[in-house]
Structure 1
Amino acid sequence: MTEHGSTPNGAVPQTELGEDGLGQLLAGLTAVREGDLSVRLPVAADGILGEIAGVYNDMVGHLSLVTSEVTRVADEVGAQGLLGGRIREPRSRGVWRELTSGVNTMADNLTSQVRSIAQVATAVAGGDLTRKIRVDARGEILELKETINTMVDRLSSFAAEVTRVAREVGTEGKLGGQAQVHGVSGTWKRLTENVNELAGNLTRQVRAIAEVTSAVAEGDLTRSITVDAPGEVRDLRDNINSMVESLRATTRSNEEQDWLQTTLARTTGLLQGTRSLPEIAELIMAEVPPLVGAQYGAFFLAGEDEKGTELVMTASYGSPDDPDSPPRRFRLGQSLVGQAARDRRALVVEHVPPGYATIASGVGAGDPGMLVVLPLVVEEQVLGAVEFASLHPFSPLRREFLDRFVVSAGAVLSSLVANLRTDELLGQYRKLADELSFRSKELQTGQQELQRSNAELQEKAALLAERNKDIESKNLVIEQARQELEDRAQQLSRTSMYKSEFLANMSHELRTPLNSLLILARLLAQNTEGNLTEKQVDYAEVIHSAGSDLLQLINDILDLSKVEAGKMDLRREPFHLSQLVEYLEATFGPVADERRLRFTVTLADDLPESLNSDEARIRQILRNLLSNALKFTEEGGVSLTVEHAPSTETPPTLAAAGQVLAFRVTDTGIGIPVEQLQHVFEAFQQGDGTAARRYGGTGLGLSISREVAGLLGGAIEARSVAGRGSTFTFYLPVPRPAELAAAGAASTARARTVPVSSPVVRTDGGGSPDGPAGRTVLVVDDDARNVFALTAALEGRGLHVLTADGGRAGLDVLAAHGEVALVLMDVMMAGMDGYSAIKAIRRMPDRAGLPVIVVTAKAMPGDRAQALAAGADDYVSKPVDEEELIGKIRDWLTG
């Protein structure tokens, strides 16, 4: 038997080894076999049994220590996840050393493998997809390693593809990009598909808008945007489609009226040159049917006989009748020709029955689809009739031409008949005069005959006087027709004015949503709260850039309408030539560097320091010229040279202008063919206007520049060689030194009385410049998008914002909130507009000096003056430049 106990020093309990030592040894070994390592043998025995007990106890103690270490390592590594654990038993030998080494090897391998997997997983979680599991592994760990490495590869491929598509579509503007990620499934496949769908939708929407706006810029008004789009893109699509439809209708109406007036004037002029009735009949049949698309025509001339008025076919067009057969004749009321003449009104047969009439050609014949008979009537007198037939219905424009043509033709025909009758009477008069001379010799024998002849002569003279009066009446009809043509020309002029006004209103409708788009995009791009990713900031900057490009297109179209309507104002003020040069270098220097082109500005030594002109318009001209030069130049450089123009080079129109400066923009680009050199100055014209062109643009820049140069008293000329570059020269007259000095003194004596306000608290930090923080501003606008955008921009600068959706509501807010320190007022609002609201504010107690800044998108000449006349203090046009607006608010609030 064995007893368990503890030694005084806390050793493992031992069993006393009695006489039956082998039995005790057997019991100890049995305990070890059962996994009990707590049994010890007594070592007091002598001889072999004592040695066996010692070896047994050492073995069990060592085995217990190894077991404890293995259990500890397994618990730390396998259960607690504490990697790096090892068995610390240096005395192990033989199989125990192998066991210790095997467990340590397993722990080391597991530690390195798990740590490598953890490092890669941590890198992936942190967005680093360059790390992979490199540690050796076998079995399921190898499968896990390969699975994770495959996942990293696919994530890396996915991220690279999505980043590429986002950069191409969102940043570089290369539409049509699609992410190509192979082998992904589940969430990654759906995310790839979502990114591709986003890029595809954006591509389709932007390309559809670009195609239609490019087509409109090139004069093609047949296109419209049909792509599906939500939100503000849909509003932009609908606005552009409405603009194109209005332009299409206006252009079609103008073209039709121009064709009508031009064709009517031409044919009437041809008729006025005829001197016989057959000639006028043949001329009408030769000219009119092709103009109205008729395949058959007949001209009937009215004549008188003993039975009354008869209409005789005098000329025809495309008639199947035998030319040698007798001409057709109709009495008043007989057939449709006679009926139209009797009723003195046109007859129209829209559905001609089969077999009624025949239109024949050399290869066949057919029934007409429409028949028109029109009488030629002047002052209720029937002079003739015309009949036209066509295989297809006459368009309303052709019908209107026929209705107006018969009026002019009737007047010409009446005048010709009167002239022929006058010639006949004059012939009779001469014959009678000769006869009277002959009869005078027989005066004595023919006194009675002479009296009868004199009576007849007086009757003929009276008839001649009556005919002359009739001729004067016919001439009056012709004069009325001429006056009508002049009225039509004035109508075309008014139409042009209406078009300009339409473009101004349309610019307002486009600027209004664009205002909120640009402001919100800029706020997102600034990322003041830091909650947007770098890609989202890039997307916001791309949206802002695209909106800015659209704004430039709107401004170009509006400038063109101002020039056409003669309403572009000029503000001549002295300015330093150096500041103009600095502006151009700062604007185009970075562009040239980005395109790896040389950009130089050279000033002659004898130039004046200051110029007295409209600096903004001069900047606009040079900006357009330099933008074109950089756009059409791929290698080499662009230069701007400013010098006095030699007298031999000055355009003839500026010969009397005295000194003339020449601003020369020279490039080494693609050049312009000679046959296209003059066309590039026409609106919507480009050097390459095909669908496959390499360079974009609307074709308005040079047209506007030439017109603005003319308003400044100057001119623009171009020289170019295809493939070798171009030189555009802007000639600007320079006033005499005395005139410049006077203008400078006047300018110095005059941006400005600013109302004095109480001091304001300025804020620092947070990325915002010092501003009038804490003050209250009222925004009055009936467009919720603009209100939202302006509120976000102003509150971001520390201002407190109140809003009102109309002029009347704005007055109520002012009455209730005395803390309002400034008002931003929209002009075009339903109900009470901005002008009326400003006038009402000036009549409110203690509000006469309240600063009011007008915010409008119409931006037509005279708008600023009208706003100031209504009582406004300042003026800002949409889309609002945030820095400009904050600067104006700061000026008016800080004084």
Structure 2
Amino acid sequence: MQKEIDYVSEHDIEVHDLANQIQKNVLDMETGMRGYVITGNDGYLEPYNLAGRSWLDNYNKLHSLLIDNSRQQRNLEEMKPLILSWVTNTGEYVINAKKANNTAALDKHFSENTGKKITDQLRTQLDSFLANEKKITTERTKLLNQSNMNLKITLYTIILLVTVITIATAIILSNSIVKTIKQVVKAIMSITDSEVDLTTRIKVNTRDETQELAEAMNRLLSNLEKQSWVQKSMTDIATMYQGITEIKELAQAFITKLAPLLHATYGVVYLRKSDAGGGTYYVKVAGYALADEENAAASFRLGEGLIGQAALDKRIFLTDKLPKEHLKVTSGLGASSPRNLLIAPILVDDRVEAVIEFAALQPFRARHLTLLDMLQDKFGSAITSVAGRMEVERLLGESQILTEELQAQSEELQAQSEELQMQQEQLRITNEFLEEKNKFAEQRAAELKIAKDELEDYSLKLKLSSQYKTDFLANMSHELRTPLNSILILSQMLMENNAEMDRSEVEEYARVVHTSGGDLLRLIDDILDLSKVEAGKIEILIDEVNVTEIPQLLKNTFDPVAAKKNLTFNVLTDPDVPAVILTDGQRLQQILKNLLSNAFKFTEQGSVKVQIALADREKAAELLGIQTDELILAISVTDTGIGIPSDKQQIIFDAFQQVDGTTNRQYGGTGLGLSISREFTRLLGGAIDVESELDKGSTFTLYIPSKREPAYQGRDLHQALKEVAATRDGTTREQEGTTEKAEWPANERTVAVCSGTRTMAEYSDGHSEVTYSDKRTEIGYSGEYTEAEDLDEYTEAEMSDKQLFKGKKVLLVEDDGRNIYALVTALESRGVIVQVAKNGKRAIEMLQAYADYDLIFMDIMMPVMGGYEAMKVIRHDLGLETLPIIALTAKAMKGERDKCLEAGASDYIMKPLNIDQLFSLMRVWLTEQVEQD
């Protein structure tokens, strides 16, 4: 019977594991092959080759284990040709075609779906195979239970036989022990008549051979009970693993099943993780009967506490004298203190993959430790198997999602940019129209003076609105182009130099791209929210909102922010606040998150506090402009930040406006958060009040009524604007025979030196580049261009990039870390020596100490000192009039190029940067420097 139990718990589980491993090998080969075809990166062939070497070993092991089941062997043998066929006709064929760059063969192969048909057939056969094995395991378990029943029947038969012999012997030996023997016989007969209950024990009061017989029988029953319990528990837990594909689900199912078996009142599972530095720590993933989550450690490292020491020593810790205050186990009637603690590491290949901890009111028994010891290998193998499958599925899912998100973000950004440009043009036309109306009004008679004054006032407001939106567009251009610049440069470098990069560089590039993409998405979401509000497209959905959940939601979102900035963050709720109100929960959360985001952004030290209370009736009526008996909540957000001047406390709620709206402001942002919050509050029928004192902090109070119909109103900001045809500035080109003419905007300069087919490139800032196959050079100004002499007669000498860039010293003045990382990486790849200054003031200090730079890249919008002021100081105060300065700016405003040149820039390039255009511009100015030298 023991051999049968071992066979079920070891053989069958190993068969399931090997079958799952073969399935994983096939999936690894298919994933590696597809990754190599998509990227051409040889790193994707590593899992393919490893799986190709492993699957046959797993197959042979599985085949040998099925020697007693010819039907399953035949089912397994039918899979082998399919795997071999896929490896030969799909895997190797596709990889070889990719290495040979045979695109036609790859397209034909994937269009015919040959490999997919094989993998689908193989997956079907593997699922059928596993289903048969599960059925076989179930049947063996039933046979095992029947064997157990037969054993008990045999045991009872032996007991009955022993009883008869004992009675006969007792009659022969002595009448003095008849009474005791009858008691023993009665106890044995009661065991025989019971329904297979191994917990029954024989009780005797004599001290003779009968007592020894009873004690021996009791020990036999105890051992059988222990072994039966351990094996049955092992079988139940092993069967539970089947069909689980998620690691947290596996851990939760394990702890939920095992804790009652150990008579534990508390249990928790920690799984191994690795941090960025390669260190090991363990994270809580599942628990049993956890009453106080805060007292249960979320994670620990090796050697940290008893649980960390158990993981470090790789041994079981058992404690039976816990202090009462260590842990409380609660129920509906009260709380108790467990006094017994059991900590056990789960080992896989001598590595601790998980640690489990149990607490119990009663001491843990020997059979509990035996069961836990036997489960270590099985549970560890299940963890590694499920984790492997999850990792493969996660990588495939992330790859698909990232591709879709980047495409969607690109389309949304383009549409939003076009819409903002149209709005700016419409505002310009409106301002021009109003200026004409003002001129006409000045010619009117005195009786129209009142109307004239009103028009002038209205004109002034529109001009201010236009200026605010102009500033917003400049700041928004910077906010959008800064992360977009990092994405474009790093993605291009990944595309061009992937084979030369190590994994850490690729991961860092990908992290920066991901972070920048997230910043772009948040900016776009803010713009789209405001556009929907202004267009009347926001719908308010009134439903029950659980107020008691709001504190935890806010804590979960902003606790990490508070910890990072070392700020105190509290959310307090008055006891008389109702548990449920009627409003739009999603919009309420967005308003609170906007208010808290501002509070944390402008608070460097101190605290941020949220207070949820019932609103004062008189104050609410004053702000809302109505008398109502409805319940109104007052949710205040208080910070100890920089505060808001009294003259700025109302305009901050207007769209596109901030306390500091300049381009070189210290704090970033678009100025849309409070505007969106105010509009959402209006739609909910509420109001926002602000109280603030400069340098002491601010309090924003949100008044939200309950059970109020949504105030849905559409607004059209452009009803008064006429439709205008968009004009397009740029370059015109005419060709008559062999003659070409090109027109440049005034003071625009173009230099292009190339060889190859004659081409013309047009850029959005109005300049053009023309290249000739005979290596001629053109310099173009306003009007028709003029051709220079042949290159051999011209004063620019050709030199390779390597000769031109290597050893050149460049000063990069930029405050954005992502742009610094991208530009430094790109420039250093060409041999350029780069030094970085985070603002204009630091750049001037570095030039005063060391002025031997070949070129300066100057960002325009920076804190402390912006690019315009810095370039003026470099040119006039430092006297560096010939040092090339290339302005880098994300501001796409009209006249920005002239403004940069007037401030002292030698040339101008817009963000997001085209790296090839950047290097082309460097060639022009570095070559000019070489010629001057």
Q: TM-score, normalised by structure 2?
A: 0.29
- TM-score (normalizing by structure 1): 0.30
Q: Which has the larger radius of gyration?
A: 1
